[in-house]
């Protein structure tokens, strides 16, 4: 009785091995495609993140804008930076560093609760310099 089951089990085990091998090959191919896709999508993702950071930074500055500052002027400055970045006149690393500097100023200011005129000037100067650098290229 045991001998009759042995020949039937061997073809089933071979089918299982082929199925596992096929599954591993498919998973490997999907993994490679994901890695390649991620490599090519990375710059696009970075651009989206920087664009979003510029918008968030602009919103925070406008929300905390001290008296005596023109909201339209702030919009113009940030629009110049955003446009220069989208047109490729500003490299991602340069924009990232400038945004990081401005973000640090805002974080320090929010610890106090309000942007001071000096902090606002620093942020706007950073953005103006970034837009000005893009015009030189």
Cα–Cα dist 119/13, whole Å: 71
Domain ranges of the chain: 42-136
Mutual orientation of helices 117-136 and 2-63 as an angle, nearest 10°? 110
Instruction: Pinpoint the alpha helices (H) of 64-116.
Output: 71-86, 92-112
pTM of the model: 0.61
What are the tokens at 68? 């005596």
Say which residues have a Cβ less than 8 Å from residue 119's Cβ, sequence separation at least 6. Answer: 105, 106, 108, 109
pLDDT band of 17, cuts 50, 70, 90: low
Residue 137's pLDDT is what?
A: 47
Structure token pair of residue 2: 């045991």
> How sure is the predictor about 4, in pLDDT bands with cuts at 50, 70 and 90?
low
Task: State the pLDDT at residue 83.
Answer: 87
Q: What is the mean pLDDT of residues 1-8?
A: 53
């Amino acid at each position: 009785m045991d001998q009759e089951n042995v020949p039937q089990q061997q073809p089933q085990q071979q089918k299982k091995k082929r199925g596992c091998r096929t599954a591993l090959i498919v998973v490997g191919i999907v993994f490679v495609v994901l890695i390649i896709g991620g490599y090519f999508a990375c710059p696009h993702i970075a651009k989206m993140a920087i664009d979003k950071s510029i918008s968030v930074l602009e919103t925070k500055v406008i929300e905390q804008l001290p008296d005596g500052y023109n909201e339209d002027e702030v919009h113009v400055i940030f629009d110049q930076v955003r446009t220069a970045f989208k047109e490729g006149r500003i490299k991602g690393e340069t924009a990232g560093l400038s945004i990081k500097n401005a973000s640090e100023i805002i974080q320090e200011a929010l610890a106090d609760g309000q942007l001071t005129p000096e902090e606002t000037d620093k942020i706007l100067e950073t953005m103006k310099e970034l837009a000005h650098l893009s015009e030189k290229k």
